[in-house]
Chain A
Amino acid sequence: MGLDSYIQLFFSGITIGSIYAMVALGFLIIYSSTGIINLAQGEFVMLGGLIAVTCHHTLHFPMPLTFLVTVLLVTVIGTLFEITCIHPLKNPSVLGLIMITIAASILMRGIAMFIWGKEEHGIPTFSGDKSVSVIGASVPPQVFWILGVIFTVLIILFLISKYTLIGKAMRATAADRTAAHLVGINVRKIVLLSFAVSAGLGGVAGVVLTPMTLMSFDRGTPLALKGFCATVVGGLGNPAGTVIAGLLLGLIESFVTGLVSSHYKDVIALFILIIVLFVKPSGLFSKSEEAKLKKF
């Protein structure tokens, strides 16, 4: 096996890994501000892909408009999900909240099947299908779009959380909800915002992924599972660790599939999850003292 196939595996790994990283970051943002593991996270990616399909094929929007409208719609769906399903609950238990998000994910999948049917849908790639040659390996140009868009979003997110007031408020809420409330942060607004941002991240991942792999109503759950693995491996509370864990999972999955066997492609991430829970349950990139303070 030549160098070019390794490079090919590397690119496909880092592409799918960046999608996992987006989903994982979505998990993390909602978890930080609310303590909820939102198992409907993968459905946002699915909705992003399928709404983009409708925007492009039925409404004939150009690609940039498709992108904007889709991400906006998914963000609205995420916010509505919080307003209608999570917020009205009085004293919910962790168990109840997990079940609600599972129920919502089943419902979203059902609605998607109702609207778009069971078939796979696709949209054209952003800039043609002519492969780019990287050190002898041919890489589809969409890969660069996926990596570019996702890393731009990540950098923007990082800058917002680091330097703006709203970002600081979000970090304060993540650190301690009660204390944040006491210093005058509108926690309710932050919770809504975190659902909106998480859904938006899912939407972005969905739009950029669909030209590569097509999209159907049942694609959300596997993505949620893997994103979830990345969140736990990254240590539930460490954004950089989560992104690295997502990329690592993608790379490991791609190399194992390419070099060993493709039968067990979907269990590699889960297997890593169980090993991490066994060996270092606080995650690879987080201190165990920190993990002891967490509710979940």
Chain B
Amino acid sequence: MGKNNYIKCALFLIIIGFLPVFVSNQYYLSVLVFAGIYAIVAIGLSMLMGYAGQISLGHAGFFAIGGYTSAILTKFHNFHPLQAMIIGIVFTVFAALLVGLPSLRLRGHYLAMATLGFGEIIYVTSGAATGLTEGPSGFSGVPSIALAGFTIKSELSKFYLVWLVALIIMILSLNIIHSRIGRALRSIHGDEIASNAMGVNVAKYKIQVFVYSAALASIAGSLYVHHMRFVSPTGFNLNKSILFLIMIMSGGMGSLWGAVIGAAIFTLLPEFLGVFNDYDILMYGAILLGMMMFLPHGLTGLTTKIIQLVLSKWKTRTQNNP
């Protein structure tokens, strides 16, 4: 996965390790747990959009399937949180195949339409199937996550758990990207017809990465309900799918690290934009529109541009004054 990424992973581990030393406030720690959860979704979505070039407008749906499966099975049926999480992944993979198989066979962006519909169906169903989900008001009392006999309850331990999962998923995803599959995905993004002609099984790879990203969203959904200890449909609406898109767009498409940074920024930003409380939708719209128009490559694109600019300035200066 490249020397550069090993250094970044190590840096990432150090930041995770030492961040809680500076953040003693329990509330902010809890917000950082959310950031980690969204980072997991963002990594998967970034692989789908940045590398395979497919749009999903319904990842909140997969997030919801994972979340509701975990919440219902652990609260009402005494499943172990890990078992419930795995069953959630199975359901999600099934749903992703159902949506992905017909729409990914086709050229273009049928997936965007199908996922948009799918996400809304899951959202409405989670409010309407009152027998299963307790309806629009949701239910509380979802147990905390437990690992190897320990119940993970404090904000600090949840922080470490979630971000370690994010790191593992990051390493896994980086390895996928720097393998044959990753190269195939990038070729699909570049030109579907050309990569097909080169012998890349376009439909197969698109399905694989779509299912992979859906499974990550499901894992994140499970972690989300165990962290909130509460579940209701409001967490899973179209706005959540769009928030996921904003995260990877702001971080920069085609950069998994950018996706993590975007997830962190857009989880923390609303906390600092508290003054806007009801008008955060206005801010989101303005920020997203500004990003799309002026920074199409996101923050990572901006940073690379600045570094290049500084380097070229520095070079010309050293050439002029030998």
A interface with B by C-beta (< 8 Å)? 37, 85, 88-89, 92, 94-96, 98-100, 102-111, 113-114, 118, 221, 225, 228-229, 232, 263-264, 266-267, 270-271, 273-274, 277-278, 281, 294-296
Contact = CB atoms under 8 A, between A and B. Distances in A.
Interface of A, helix, strand, loop or mixed by DSSP: helix
Interface string B94-123: 000001001100101110111011101100
Contacts of A270: 116-118, 120-121
A273 B58 CA distance: 14
A75 to B, nearest CB: 21
B54 to A, nearest CB: 9
B94 to A, nearest CB: 15
Interface of B: 49, 53, 55, 99, 102-103, 106, 108-110, 112-114, 116-118, 120-121, 124-125, 128, 238, 242, 245, 249, 253, 278-279, 281-286, 288-289, 291-293, 296
6 contacts: A37-B112, A92-B296, A118-B278, A225-B116, A263-B128, A295-B108
Task: Report, nearest first, the 4 A-B pairs whose CB atoms are least far apart.
Answer: A110-B282, A107-B285, A106-B285, A270-B117
A98 B109 contact: yes
Contacts of A266: 120, 124
B203 to A, nearest CB: 14
B114 A85 contact: no
B288 A267 contact: no
A11 to B, nearest CB: 25
Contacts of A278: 102
Nearest to A229: B117
B286 A107 contact: yes
Contact of A85 (B106, B109, B279, B293): B293
**Residue from B113, B242, B278, B281 having most chain A Cβ neighbours under 10 A:** B113
A267 B121 contact: yes
A46 B99 CA distance: 30
Nearest to B245: A99
B110 A264 contact: no
Given A114-B279, A221-B238, A100 B110 contact: no
